[in-house]
Chains A and B, each alone.
Chain A
Amino acid sequence: DAGITQSPRHKVTETGTPVTLRCHQTENHRYMYWYRQDPGHGLRLIHYSYGVKDTDKGEVSDGYSVSRSKTEDFLLTLESATSSQTSVYFCAISERGGAGETQYFGPGTRLLVL
């Protein structure tokens, strides 16, 4: 998985609780992404980062926040988890933007919100 780890790998939580997912890379890649994957919806971009403390929203950012204080770490926080946020969350990294970039994905975090 190209030097990308995600933690936790599985989590069960209750509605209304905050949840933080961590993505850690050892590749020193500039770009990092958080996606969610749901049946029938494919991969949807939540937030992405193009450098330390530089982040932007994706297509499904409501209810999520991110932080990147170090190149290697990208955190995704569900501020108050809801059942609709039950999903598999993937972190991805890429070396650069521009034509020809490849995104490398982590192993995913399976989140269940009860």
Chain B
Amino acid sequence: QQQVKQSPQSLIVQKGGISIINCAYENTAFDYFPWYQQFPGKGPALLIAIRPDVSEKKEGRFTISFNKSAKQFSLHIMDSQPGDSATYFCAASIGAGNNRKLIWGLGTSLAVNP
């Protein structure tokens, strides 16, 4: 199954709160899990990424938690700020060489209220 299921579709959080976005997959051949952030009118940009041999990765206020046995990974945004309001995509990489590609979740629209 080459799908990545992302939830929730939309999320509203108060300033200072924790935003949590979840993704799940079935194919154990996925070997790299990036999160991308997209602001309105812009292309997506890499936010943070993790490999399946690591259970957690933190970069500033952004943390990926990875549960290999459950085939789930999540993005946590601590101390959420209005400037974090954007669409977030999880993705997973599969394949080798020229056939390597990213499989994308459908995205989560995050709004952080001031």
Point out residues on A near B: beta carbons under 8 Å: 1, 4, 40-45, 48, 50, 54, 56, 58, 90, 92, 97-108
Residues in chain B near residue A105, CB distance under 8 A = 43-45
List 4 additional contacts besides A45-B102, A97-B96, A107-B41; criterion CB under 8 Å. A42-B105, A42-B106, A43-B89, A102-B49
Bound Cα distance A108, B100 (Å): 23
Residues in chain A near residue B107, CB distance under 8 A = 42
Q: What are 19 A-B pairs at a CB distance below 8 A?
A: A40-B106, A41-B106, A42-B89, A42-B106, A42-B107, A43-B89, A45-B101, A56-B98, A58-B101, A97-B95, A97-B98, A98-B100, A99-B32, A100-B32, A100-B51, A101-B93, A102-B46, A104-B46, A105-B43
Interface size class of B (residues with CB under 8 A): 20 to 34
**Complex: chain B residue closest to A43, CB-CB:** B104
The distance from the CB of A16 to the nearest CB of chain B, in whole angstroms, is: 29
Bound Cα distance A101, B31 (Å): 11
**Complex: chain B residue closest to A54, CB-CB:** B98
Residues in chain A near residue B98, CB distance under 8 A = 50, 54, 56, 97
Bound Cα distance A31, B45 (Å): 16
Contact A43 B101 (CB under 8 A): no
Assuming the contacts A1-B43, A90-B43, A108-B43, asked whether A103 and B102 have C-beta atoms less than 8 A apart, the reply is yes
**Complex: chain B residue closest to A40, CB-CB:** B106
Contact A43 B44 (CB under 8 A): yes
Contact B46 A99 (CB under 8 A): no
Which 8 A-B residue pairings sit nearest by Cβ, starting from the closest? A105-B43, A97-B100, A50-B98, A42-B106, A43-B104, A99-B32, A102-B46, A42-B104
The distance from the CB of A114 to the nearest CB of chain B, in whole angstroms, is: 22
Residues in chain B near residue A92, CB distance under 8 A = 43
- B57-105 contacts to A, CB under 8 A, are 89, 93, 95-102, 104-105
